[in-house]
């Protein structure tokens, strides 16, 4: 019965066929060259220095074995590797948007700012007893903040 209900959901209001799109190129087409460039960029931008590789590996093993919902772990992983679509990330993908974070209207929307650095969100952190004494600063990258946790 549930299968029929799911199958009856329209996939598009315009009834347009689905298509595959490689979001790492401007034209949306996949190529080995674009895949290679993505791999290099990920390796160079988010790979820790050789002295931190062992620590990062053990840290992720610890995270993946926590008894928390997998979607929380995936969220942390995506935040760490800049896969969350913040406005700064969208501009990096050549999508013209205003980068100002709509909650405070004063800083660019980065992962760190949206989750921790925004002064407006400090009220939420205090209300729910999140760590207030972390040594973090505005403009900090989420990777650095992640290890402060």
Look at 40-44, 61-65, 86-90, 101-105 and tell me which has the smallest mean pLDDT. 40-44
69 band by pLDDT with thresholds 50, 70 and 90: very high
Q: Rounded to whole angstroms, how far apart are CA atoms 62 and 43? A: 22
Q: Are 117 and 136 in contact (CB under 8 A)?
A: yes
List, for residues 103-131, the tens digit of each pLDDT value: 999 899 988 888 878 888 878 777 777 65
List, for residues 19-43, the tens digit of each pLDDT value: 777 777 878 888 888 888 887 777 6
Q: What is the mean pLDDT of residues 57-74?
A: 84
Residue 108 phi, psi (nearest 5): -65, 145
pLDDT at 25: 80
Q: What is the pTM of this model?
A: 0.52
Residue that the structure tokens 């997998």 belong to? 70
Going from N- to C-terminal start, the domains of the chain cover: 1-47, 48-149
pLDDT above 80: residue 137: no
- CA torsion 61-88-33-39 (nearest 10°) is -20
pLDDT at 23: 75
DSSP-assigned beta bridge partners for residue 100: 108
Q: Rounded to whole angstroms, how far apart are CA atoms 25 and 10? A: 28
């Amino acid at each position: 019965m549930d299968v029929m209900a799911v199958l009856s959901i329209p996939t598009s209001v315009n009834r347009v066929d689905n298509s595959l799109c490689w979001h790492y190129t401007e034209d949306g087409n996949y190529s080995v060259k674009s895949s290679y460039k993505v791999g290099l960029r990920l390796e160079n931008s988010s790979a820790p220095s050789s002295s931190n590789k062992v620590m990062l590996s053990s840290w992720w093993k610890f995270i993946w074995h926590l008894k928390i919902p997998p979607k929380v772990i995936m969220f942390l992983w995506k935040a760490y590797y800049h896969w969350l679509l913040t406005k700064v990330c969208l501009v990096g993908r050549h999508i013209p948007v205003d980068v100002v974070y709509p909650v405070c209207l004063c800083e660019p929307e980065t992962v760190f700012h949206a989750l921790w650095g925004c002064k407006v969100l400090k009220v939420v952190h205090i209300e729910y007893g999140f760590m207030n004494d972390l040594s973090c600063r505005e403009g900090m990258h989420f990777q650095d903040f992640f290890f402060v946790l």
